[in-house]
Amino acid sequence: MSKTAIRTSSAPQPAGPYSQGIVANGFLYTAGFGPQDPANDNAIAEGVAEQTRQVLRNVSAVLADRGLTLNDCVKSTVHLADLADFAEFNEAYREFFAEPYPVRTTVGSQLAGILVEIDVVAALPAE
């Protein structure tokens, strides 16, 4: 199996020994992204809706490196600092996806200074 790392300046840079994304076996897997805005000194917006939007822009930047969009996603994993924010998160999340929506797992997590983190798996086009 071969795997290829993705690195883009349009998304937050890794804070440790991991890739922003990996292409392997017909899929692109992203790291979990938080709401840091790389175009604004990694500023973090307030509120779960705005953080969700920035997270999905970050994920989109990694997908775009391989010509993909969020509509190519088949799976997403969402971590919320407070599950009571689910409705607000879900409303913002819905703005970025079209049917058929990817399968999704949403869990409550202890996050360091952020309200939401998301990673996705996207299918590459058949060659």
The domain that holds 30 is classified in CATH as: 3.30.1330.40
Q: What is the mean pLDDT of residues 48-74?
A: 98
Residue partners of 89: CB distance under 8 A and separation at least 6:
48, 49, 52, 78, 80, 106, 116
Q: How many domains are there within the chain?
A: 1
- What are the pLDDT digits (tens) for 80-125? 999 999 999 999 999 999 999 999 999 999 999 999 999 999 999 9
**pTM for the model:** 0.95
Closest CA relative to residue 121, chosen from 18, 17, 24: 24
- Predicted pLDDT at 80: 98
Residue positions counted in the chain: 127
Closest CA relative to residue 114, chosen from 62, 63, 55, 70: 55
> Measured between alpha carbons, how far is residue 112 from residues 49, 81, 116 in Å?
17, 9, 10
Chain position carrying tokens 């937050």? 12
The domain in which residue 94 lies consists of 3-11+18-123
